[in-house]
Amino acid sequence: MALIDLTIEKFTRQLCYRVPPQDLALDLSSMPARPRSGLIIDNVRLIGERLDQHKARPVTS
């Protein structure tokens, strides 16, 4: 449980990310029911960093 708590803390308070448009439809006939591609996120970075548009990598402000 501690690992789950740490992961939730990281994703909700320490990371900034984008969820691009995607098909999140669920196939309820399979278990566990989840999107085929999973959940895709991009532009993941620590809060306080910005994405350098020219080099496509995080740069500290």
- Cβ–Cβ < 8 Å for 34, 25: no
Low-confidence stretches of the chain (pLDDT beneath 70): 49-61
Task: Kindly give, in sequence order, each residue whose CB lies less than 8 Å from that of residue 22, ignoring residues fewer than 6 positions away.
Answer: 35, 37, 39, 40
Residue 59 is predicted with a pLDDT of 44
Residue 51 is predicted with a pLDDT of 59
Residue 60 is predicted with a pLDDT of 42
Residue 50 is predicted with a pLDDT of 65
Q: Record the pTM.
A: 0.53
